[in-house]
Structure 1
Amino acid sequence: MKIKLQARGLWDAVCYGDADFQEDRMALDAIVNAVPEEMIESLAVKESAEDAWDAIATVRIGTDRIQKSTLQKKWRKWDRITFQDGESVDDFALRLSGLMNTFLMLGDDDINE
């Protein structure tokens, strides 16, 4: 979604909230069209694209406490990760990649260290 907004030159409307009304509406429209159907109604009533983006972030990531708890669980999983019986190297790499993406999504880039 962020890439689509950037490609359309609308990311500043979301990031800084300083776009004119038309750009803000275009950004809000792009956001509403990119989310699951059950989220559309709650986002369509937001005052700005920035408000809609913040609402998605709140739903997606949750509170800091939940985020930290999730990160702790994922780090424990990372520390214990091993090949499973019959698992291919590609499947193992996909599991590693999935965990790494989860860390990044939750704002933890310590995985690169």
Structure 2
Amino acid sequence: MGEVIPVTMKKEGGSSSSIKCPMLTSSNYTVWAMRMKITLKVHKVWEVIETESVNGDKNDLATALLFQSIPEALILQVGDLDTAYKVWDAIKLRHMGAERVREARLQTLMAEFDQLQMKDSEKIDDFAGKLSEISSKSTALGVNIEEPKLVRKFLKCLPRKKYIQIVASLEQVLDLNNTGFEDIIGRLKAYEERVSEETEVEEEKGKLMYANSESQKYQSNQSDNGGSTARIFVSCSKKHKVENDETQNADELMMHELVFLNEKNVVPEKFETNA
């Protein structure tokens, strides 16, 4: 919100008190104006701005307080103005444009905050970082997002299928209005790690069951193929034996015919007697 400048105020009887003036920055005009109004009222000089009075002492005190709470560069721009009202009005005109820009940025940021949802594949740390970033930007623009709002937004944005159990438990056990944002992040991270470990165990079991199933299929196929091979081998052996027997008989018949046809050449006397 900028630097705070202490201003000493003298009271009746010689005592004094210190009142802090807020320092104006490029992004805190609205808050600065509210604080300065209170400061000027405490010093009993707000009326010179409200009524555009030119009362000498009060006008000088109000102007001095305003000069205490603005940067040097701005003092050089408004230093020639002769009344506190003119100084106040000049500061307002110079920052209203910046204020409109700030409000537009803030509206965009709040829309982003409302639409933000956590993806199924997203980690708790990553999503928490997004919420924290929006919260920091909002604070820089002058609006602080309170922790209960961050906590409820976080729980609402979690994927229900994956986190429904832990969300229901936290809502029943904890007082979300008094639970810190970092506390919720820690609990959800612990749950995320446990779910991740259980998922890995289930995946390993699934792989092991698949491997065993494939092994049994392979052994069954090998057994079936072995029987077929044996049957084919027996059939081939029988066929080969039959073919060998037929070939042997044919050879013996051919040999007998050859001997019969050449018998006269082999045993001439026997042939003549037979003739």
TM range, smaller chain: 0.5 to 0.7
Higher share in strand: 2
CA RMSD, 1 decimal: 3.4
Distance 1:99 1:35 in 2: 18
Cα distance per residue 1:51-110 (max 9 Å; x no partner):
1001111111128xx82x5533431221111488343988765555555649xxxxxxxx
- TM-score normalised to structure 2 length: 0.30
Aligned AA (1:12): E
Given that 1:32 and 1:43 are in contact with CA atoms closer than 8 Å, whether structure 2 keeps it comes out as no
Q: Which residue of 1 aligns with 2:227?
A: none
Shift of 1:22: 1.5
Indicate the residue corresponding to 2:103 in structure 1: 71
Matched residue pairs, number? 99
Q: Indicate yes or no: 2:46 matched with 1:11.
A: yes
Contact 2:106 2:138 survives alignment (8 Å): no
Tell me, yes or no, if the aligned pair for 2:48 and 2:85 is still in contact at 8 Å. Answer: yes
Cα distance in 2 for residues equivalent to 1:100 and 1:40: 23
Correspondences of 1:82-97 after superposition (within 5 Å): 82=116, 85=126, 86-87=128-129, 95-96=137-138
The verdict on how the C-alpha distance between 1:5 and 1:46 changes in structure 2, with shifts beyond 3 A counting, is same
The runs of at least 4 aligned residues of structure 1 exceeding 4 Å deviation read 88-100
TM-score calculated relative to the size of structure 1:
0.65
Structure 1 residue 55 and structure 2 residue 87: aligned?
Answer: no
Would you say the 8 A contact 2:62–2:84 is kept in 1? Answer: yes
What is the one-letter code of the residue matched to 1:20?
N
Report the 3-state secondary structure (helix = DSSP H, G, I; strand = E; otherwise coil) of the residue aligned with 1:18.
coil
Find out whether 1:80 has 2:112 as its counterpart: yes
Partners in 2 of 1:22 and 1:45 — Cα distance? 18
1:76–1:43 distance in 2 versus 1, CA, 3 Å? same
Gaps of 5+ in 2: 1-35, 118-124, 145-275
| Long gaps (5+) in structure 1 | 103-113
| Larger relative contact order, structure 1 or 2 (CA cutoff 8 Å, min sep 6) | 1
**Residue matched to 1:31:** 66
Q: Distance in 2 between matches of 1:98 and 1:88?
A: 16
Q: Alignment identity in percent? A: 17
State the partner residue of 2:214: none
Please give the secondary structure, in 1, of the residue aligned with 2:53: coil
Partners of 1:54 and 1:33 lie apart in 2 by 16
Residue 30 of structure 1, CA deviation: 0.8
